[in-house]
Amino acid sequence: MEALAIYQRLAEQFGDRILETVSKKPDPFCVVDPAAIVEVAQYLHDDPELAMDCLSNQSGVDYKDRIEVVYHLFSYSHRHGAVLKVKLPRENPAVRTVESVWKSANWMEREIFDLLGVTFDGHSDLRRILLPEDWVGYPLRKDFVEPLEYHGISTVRESPILRLDPKAK
């Protein structure tokens, strides 16, 4: 089934909880109301004609005015896929976890939490996965300012361009 046909089915099933469908090639996507993401995910997973049994990727994006969580789904039995997005406010971005639908969401949501600060409500183990527990801030946010040191260790690095180019010194 083509992605746009899948989005049409979602619009018929969920009405105004499907906020937008973008048919832009090569990657059409559908924007879902954050409050409905688990219900939409469960439908995509359980419907035999859709059978989205794989959350192949889940990522977060900072667009300065909002944070988006992007879900790339795939059906092994039907060989089709879909992309869902939820738009969240920059201040305290939060959405329910889809971990109950796809176990692979566990680590991907932890990474998004760690690097962008998105809280996944109901997550079984929402804690940092890449950075130390006492790290301050979210490094993939556009407004993140790297501290000059961490526990007395300098985070300032010499530019490899300056180091390797004798004319640049």
Q: At 105, which CATH number?
A: 3.30.460.80
Instruction: Give the pairing type, strands 94-96 and 80-88.
Output: unpaired
Is residue 7 included in any domain, yes or no? yes
Is residue 142 included in any domain, yes or no? no
Q: Which domain holds residue 70?
A: 3-133
Confidence of residue 155 (pLDDT cuts 50, 70, 90): confident
Is residue 109 included in any domain, yes or no? yes
Is residue 114 included in any domain, yes or no? yes
Distances from the Cα of 26 to the Cα of 1, 2, 22, 44, 133, angstroms: 15, 12, 11, 21, 39
Average pLDDT over all residues of the chain: 93
Confidence of residue 159 (pLDDT cuts 50, 70, 90): confident
Is residue 162 included in any domain, yes or no? no
What's the pLDDT score for residue 166? Answer: 65
* pTM: predicted TM-score of the whole model, two decimal places: 0.90
Q: What are phi and psi of 45, to 5 degrees?
A: -70, -45
Is residue 145 included in any domain, yes or no? no
* pLDDT above 90: percentage of residues in the chain: 82
Is residue 43 included in any domain, yes or no? yes
Is residue 155 included in any domain, yes or no? no
Number of domains, the chain: 1
Confidence of residue 164 (pLDDT cuts 50, 70, 90): low
Exposure letters 9-19 (e unless 16+ CB within 10 A, then b): bbbeebeebbb
